[in-house]
Amino acid sequence: MKRKNTLFLAGLLCVMGTLGASAAWSVTPQSPIAWGERWKNLPPTPAPVAALKPAYASVNGIQLYYATTGEGTPVVLLHGGLANSDYWGQQVAALAKHHKVIVVDSRGHGRSTRDERPYSYDLMSDDVVALLDHLSIKKADIVGWSDGGIIGIDLAIRHPTRVNRIFSFAPNTKTSGVKPDTEKNPVFASYIERAGNEYRKLSKNARPVRCLCRTDKPYVGHTAQLER
């Protein structure tokens, strides 16, 4: 169990390095977060994009939340661990000029439901494939950060015919880089607290967000596959 917890923590730790990138465009010189301190603070969650058309797809025993906007080559945006699709707000606005943008709340995150199966990257990548089928999309570009990046890599390995291109930012492929004291980092702690508050606000489930990292089995995926 310790090894599994370490693997899940590895996925979460990438959040620290990617939150600033995913929300960077939402920070302005007038923002309370000064430009020079961006990496020492938790950027605000971008406001939801009004142009997005929200919907649910019944896939793999759950209700998967997604939203779409724009026209052109489809691109799927996959968020990091404990986050939700709102974190892509600024990127959606930019990409929708030339693409059909699809944002997704991973199972058990944001507005998406979950079932009793333990989390795994394989399962979440299968959810994405099922969503593509639901939308009659044969192939799409995939953009993911942290856990979303890992899901993107999993898609490329297990469902290569469904992927055109992948941009995977800060994914974990090994657990050896995890620092045991990172949970004490105030930025990381703030993110965990905020993610919990957002989940309780958005989710249809009554179960608290801490179930993702404390009481349930963590994301284990194919450990051997991730550690090659």
pLDDT tens-digit readout, 200-226: 999 977 554 444 444 333 434 433 344
Beta strands, E only, the chain: 53-59, 62-69, 73-78, 99-104, 140-145, 163-169
Matching residue, tokens 């297990």? 158
Q: How far apart are CA 45 and CA 194, in angstroms?
A: 9
Dihedral angle of Cα 48, 195, 10, 228, to the nearest 10 degrees: -40
Tell me what percent of the residues of the chain surpass a pLDDT of 70: 71
- CATH code of the domain made up of 2-27+46-226: 3.40.50.1820
Given this model, what pLDDT does residue 1 score? 41
Asked whether residue 122 carries a pLDDT value surpassing 90, the answer given is yes
What was the pLDDT predicted at 4?
A: 39
- Residue pair 174/226 in contact (Cβ under 8 Å)? The answer is yes
pTM: 0.79
User: Tens digits of per-residue pLDDT, 78-110?
Assistant: 999 999 999 999 999 999 999 999 999 999 999
